[in-house]
Amino acid sequence: MAVSERGPRERMVFSAAQLIRREGVAATGMREVAAHAGAPRGSLQHYFPGGKEQLVNEAVGWAGRYAGNRVARFLAALPEPTPAALFAEMVRQWTDEYEAAGFAGGCPVAAATVDCAQSTDSTREATAAAFAAWTAPVARALTDLGVPGERAEPLATLMISALEGAILIARAERDVRALTTVAHELGPLLDAAVRERT
Amino acid sequence: MAVSERGPRERMVFSAAQLIRREGVAATGMREVAAHAGAPRGSLQHYFPGGKEQLVNEAVGWAGRYAGNRVARFLAALPEPTPAALFAEMVRQWTDEYEAAGFAGGCPVAAATVDCAQSTDSTREATAAAFAAWTAPVARALTDLGVPGERAEPLATLMISALEGAILIARAERDVRALTTVAHELGPLLDAAVRERT
DNA sequence: GGCCGACTATGACGACGGTCATAGTAGTCC
DNA sequence: GGACTACTATGACCGTCGTCATAGTCGGCC
């Protein structure tokens, strides 16, 4: 796997996110996480004395920060940065993965929300924080691109909602159709918001 | 609970959908389903010889048909039917539930997708069918409302994607904000599609 | 009555999960 | 060297889960 040589703790968080993405929270075992990370089983209780709950929460937090950080990188890489182009890039990350590696994984934050929102309140809070850590950079990017301030956050929420839903449908259908559709349909709406700054 | 007096089999399917909505597929036990439905445990293997997989698939199918059937009823109940009004009504079903009964439940199809898309192919197919059984009536409604035929299905996909994503975020945040936001932001786009039939 | 199918009712089994307890190793500082 | 801390390594416990097996009930039909 050529896991970059971070500490075993970080590797386990990363592996947890990977497995949760694929199988859901409940179906992901602690032993499985340790094995996937190439870490000893005993390290689990050493690094995560809070048990599975803590590990899952950290995996969700990691995923939220990861998604948030990518936004800036997307923006920097765009030759002609517009809101629609940013959204297309966010979507493209998923279509690329699905076409290259199959439809095995979804969004770990979505998985944690579905599996734990009702049963584990600390995880629910972690998912809310993850969505916030993702939405904020998107909204900031929108304002930077010329979207009026009061519309940036609603549009960011819309973008992430549509993306999450399309990921679900794409996995169900094993087809990127839903993803390309939302990118195509939402693009004009997003770019139109730029010109509204009267 | 005043479960309307259908047969025990149907009650178990319904109960399975309810529990999956709340806790996810993996965390929903067969015994729990039987208890919730007020049905004897032995009936499970009698009515669902295919085991949990069959029960989950039927629950997903039921949910898809249920969502599809509601579309027509929404349309009929709207005083001034437009695409935006239809979408607002679809969203309102969720905001009403969340405000009245709390954020306990999500969409059972989303839960099944997250938990089973990778592990259980028959359930993945059931979720794809459920999304199709939901998208088709929405697309049909859009054409009835004047949306050009070639845009009806993409827009229906966009509506359902945004709704599913907003449900996730709303549950995570315990706030209907995301739901009202997508309804508000997507409304103009949907209605604008009507006037495009040149 | 006797039979049979549909359904109910329980107990048991095997597997697996998360967690705990305990012991072992390695490196460091005194 | 010896104590101490960080980390590794396993085995065991106990609960729960899905499933199977077996037996029991009930109603109709010949």
The protein residue nearest nucleotide C7, judged by CA to C1', is: B43
Residue B4 pLDDT > 70: no
Q: Is the pLDDT of residue B197 over 60?
A: no
What pLDDT is recorded for position A167?
A: 98
Q: Percent of chain B having pLDDT more than 90?
A: 88
Per-residue pLDDT, B78: 92
Confidence grade of residue A5 (pLDDT, cut at 50, 70, 90): low
As a whole-number percent, the residues of chain A with pLDDT over 90 amount to 88
Question: CA–C1' span, A35 to D27, in Å?
Answer: 56
- In 3D space, the residue among A25, A171, A119 whose CA is nearest the CA of residue B123 turns out to be A171
CB contacts, 8 Å: A108 with chain B: none
Rounded to the nearest angstrom, the minimum Cα separation between A153 and chain B is: 9
Average of per-residue pLDDT across B147-166: 96
pLDDT digit string, tens, across residues B54-81: 999 999 999 999 999 999 999 999 998 9
Q: pLDDT (tens digit, 9 = 90+) per residue, B89-128? A: 999 999 999 999 999 999 999 999 999 999 999 999 999 9
Across the range B163-171, mean pLDDT stands at 98
Gap from B7 CA to D29 C1', Å: 24
- pLDDT attached to residue B42: 87
Q: Which domains does chain A have, with CATH numbers?
A: 61-196 (1.10.357.10)
Does position A21 have pLDDT exceeding 80, yes or no?
yes
Cross-chain residue pair A109–B154, CB shorter than 8 Å: no
The predicted pLDDT at position B102 comes to 95
Q: Which residue has the higher pLDDT, B192 or B196?
A: B192
Cα–Cα distance for residue pair A172/B119, rounded to 1 Å:
12
pLDDT tier at B2 (50, 70, 90 boundaries)? very low
CB pairs under 8 A between A and B: 173
B198: pLDDT strictly greater than 70: no
pLDDT at position A3 is: 39
CA neighbor of A157 nearest in space, from B132, B16, B183: B183
Residue B196 has a pLDDT of 59
Three-state SS string over chain B comes to CCCCCCCHHHHHHHHHHHHHHHHCCCCCCHHHHHHHHCCCCHHHHHHCCCHHHHHHHHHHHHHHHHHHHHHHHHHHHCCCCCHHHHHHHHHHHHHHHHHHHCCCCCCHHHHHHHHHCCCCHHHHHHHHHHHHHHHHHHHHHHHHCCCCHHHHHHHHHHHHHHHHHHHHHHHHHCCCHHHHHHHHHHHHHHHHCHHHCC
Q: What is the pLDDT of residue B26?
A: 96
Write the residue in B22, B128, B161 that is nearest to A182 by C-beta.
B161
Q: In this predicted structure, what is the pLDDT of residue B115?
A: 96
- Closest Cα in chain A to B23: A115
pLDDT band at A58 (very low <50, low <70, confident <90, very high): very high
The DSSP-derived string for A33-46 is HHHHHT--THHHHH
Cβ of B49 near strand C (under 7 Å)? The reply is no
User: What pLDDT was estimated at residue A2?
Assistant: 35
Residue B94, token pair as written in the block: 């969720």
* Chain A 130-159 contacts with nucleic strand D (CB below 7 A): none
Q: Work out if B46's Cβ lies within 7 angstroms of strand C.
A: yes
How far is residue A107's CA from residue B99's CA, in Å, rounded to a whole number? 26
Q: What mean pLDDT do residues B167-186 have?
A: 97
Among the partner residues A114, A157, A173, nearest to B111 by beta-carbon distance: A114
Confidence of residue B5 (pLDDT cuts 50, 70, 90): low
Nucleotide nearest to B41 (CA to C1'): C9
State whether the beta carbon of A79 lies below 7 angstroms from any atom of strand D.
no
B28/D14 CA-to-C1' distance in Å: 20
Strand C contact with A149 (CB < 7 A): no
Give the closest of B115, B173, B181 to A24, CB-based: B115
Report if CB B122 to strand D is under 7 Å. no
What pLDDT does B168 receive? Answer: 98
